[in-house]
Amino acid sequence: MKDELKSVAHNDVWDLMKLPEGCKRVRCKWVFKTKCNSHDNIERYKVRLVAKGFTQKDDIVYIDYKETFSPISKKDSFRIIMALVAHYDLELHQMNVKTAF
């Protein structure tokens, strides 16, 4: 949890503001996950701070109420990138992103 909070603070993810009158805040929670290797041994623990977006009500105007954002890649995107790399004879590098904002 300390690493996640440090990352959030370092990346300047949010600003602390006064809640406008008549609005409710969206609560958040910690989600814990255990990552195992191929032999089912615990490799590491992951934790994420997530917003409980399901607590929003549709009758009140919310920006991006119907939209969901997630830092994931899809197989189609990967295939397109690989095709471009092969076609233009580019050099491809891999990197691991610990936190994505």
> Which tens digits make up the pLDDT trace of 3-55?
777 887 888 877 778 888 877 788 888 888 898 888 989 988 888 878 787 66
Per-residue pLDDT reduced to its tens digit, 42-79: 988 888 878 787 666 665 555 555 666 666 678 888 89
C-beta separation of 27 from 53 below 8 A: no
Q: How far is Cα 77 from Cα 87, in angstroms, rounded to an integer?
A: 15
Q: Where are the domains of the chain?
A: 2-56+70-87
Rg, the chain, Cα only: 19
| C-beta separation of 4 from 99 below 8 A | yes
**H or E element: which one contains 32?**
strand 28-36
